[in-house]
Amino acid sequence: MMGLQVFIRLLPLTCLLQTGVRSVKDSVFVYSRIGDVALLPCTKLTSAGCSSITWTFFRGGRVRYTEEVTGGRVNLDSDKSNRTAVASNCSLVLSDLTMEDAGSYVCLENKEAVTDVYLSLLSVSLGSPITELRPGGNLFLTCILFTYYDAGSCKPYSNVFRVNWLDEDGKQLHKDDRRYKLTENTRCNVTLRIKLQAEDNDRKWSCQVDTTKNNKVTFLNFRSSFLFQNAHTDQTVKPLVTEECRAELPISRIVLCAVLPLMVCIVGFFTWKSEHKRAKTSAAVIELQDVY
């Protein structure tokens, strides 16, 4: 009797497996950077080819729902069509990412959802004029994570994401450091102010995203390459050297300095000689005319 009851309980599950009906779909979290390429996987497919595949996109905030791929082909009406492709394994490939691409994507096979993909994007912006890239200048860097669920922002009560700033050695920067100032606009929007020193030239600063759901970490780097090497931007431009034939000039210029005056003298001499001869000839002609 007990064996019959167990068989009856397992029978519906056996039928589901035989008919190919899925009881659980995959959830995948993808983190990428603005301007990069993202690969959104479509998992647990039961058929070969992508003719039965549909990809949809949903973005919160200003609610937006679009169908990006239909029947395995990119929907040309989508504003992402020129940046979208379908891989041979039916994954969705998005290139030249913008913050508008952050959101939720669903892969469907025969109109049935098989994979939910959540795409979040990281961006770093420079808030300082380039003239501040010098010792003594102030470097402002803002790191923003555009999340998948709230129109590219991060709700204050969310504890899923956190944005941190790291130095070149991978050490996390803190608010209480006198050289650095961190302003946490939201959990996913943090501005770093750095009082630059001479050794900061070409130094790497990294924005790091920590997630609690799957412990993934995403980095985006910025290098502080100085425009000015000195501490003051009001540097006096030195005039070009005008003294003739200085010792530090290259040999070609030394030769030019020596030869050029000589050439001028030679040309002047021959010009004077030619004019003098022409004057004598003219005088002789006049004398002959007087004689005859």
Query: Which residue segments constitute the domains of the chain, with CATH numbers given?
Result: 24-120 (2.60.40.10), 127-224 (2.60.40.10)
Three-state helix/strand/coil letters over the chain = CHHHHHHHHHHHHHHHHHHCCCCCCEEEEEEEECCCCEEECCCCCCCCCCCCEEEEEEECCCCEEEEEEECCEECCCCCCHHHEEECCCCCEEECCCCHHHCEEEEEEECCEEEEEEEEEEEEEEECCCHHHCCCCCEEEEEEEEECCCCCCCCCCCCCCEEEEEECCCCCECCCCCCCEEEEEEECCEEEEEEECCHHHCCEEEEEEEEECCCCCEEEEEEEECCCCCCCCCCCCCCCCCCCCCCCCCCHHHHHHHHHHHHHHHHHHHHHHHHHHHHHHHHHHHHHHHHHC
Q: How confident is the model at residue 266 (pLDDT cuts 50, 70, 90)?
A: low
Average pLDDT, rounded, for the chain: 74
Lowest mean pLDDT among 68-72, 142-146, 193-197, 245-249: 245-249
In the prediction, which pLDDT does 15 show? 36
Beta strand 112-126 with 26-33 is: parallel
CB of 140 within 8 A of CB of 176? no
For residues 270 and 262, what is the distance between their CA atoms, to the nearest angstrom?
12
CA dihedral 165, 154, 175, 168 (to 10 degrees): 0
Q: What residue type is assigned to position 171 of the chain?
A: K
Higher pLDDT, residue 132 or 117: 117
**What number is the average pLDDT over the span 32-44?**
93
Q: What is the mean pLDDT of residues 215-241?
A: 57
Give the residue with greater pLDDT, 247 vs 44. 44
Q: What integer pLDDT is reported at residue 245 of this predicted model?
A: 33
Paired residues of 142 in beta bridges = 125, 191
Alpha carbon dihedral 257, 261, 262, 267, in 10-degree steps, equals 140
**Per-residue pLDDT tens digits for 179-215:** 889 998 888 889 999 999 889 898 999 998 887 765 5
Mean per-residue pLDDT for 34-46?
93
What's the mean pLDDT in 148-177?
75
Note the pLDDT of residue 13. 37
User: Is there a contact between 207 and 143 (Cβ–Cβ < 8 Å)?
Assistant: yes
| Segment among 13-17, 86-90, 176-180 with least mean pLDDT | 13-17
**Which of 7-11, 77-81, 200-204, 255-259 shows the lowest per-residue confidence on average (mean pLDDT)?**
7-11
Reported pTM: 0.66
pLDDT > 90 in the chain, percent? 32
pLDDT at 236: 31
For residue 130, pLDDT beyond 60: yes
Residue 112 exposed, middle or buried by CB count within 10 Å (0-12, 13-18, 19+): middle
DSSP β-bridge partners for residue 162 = 210
Is the separation of the CB atoms in 210 and 219 below 8 Å? no
pLDDT tens-place string over residues 60-112: 766 678 999 999 999 999 999 999 999 999 999 999 999 899 999 999 999 99
Most confident by average pLDDT, 15-29, 54-68, 204-218, 277-291? 54-68
Cβ atoms of residues 189 and 142 within 8 Å: yes
The pLDDT value recorded for residue 129 is: 86
Phi, psi of 114 (to 5 degrees): -115, -30
Q: Which amino acid is at 96?
A: D
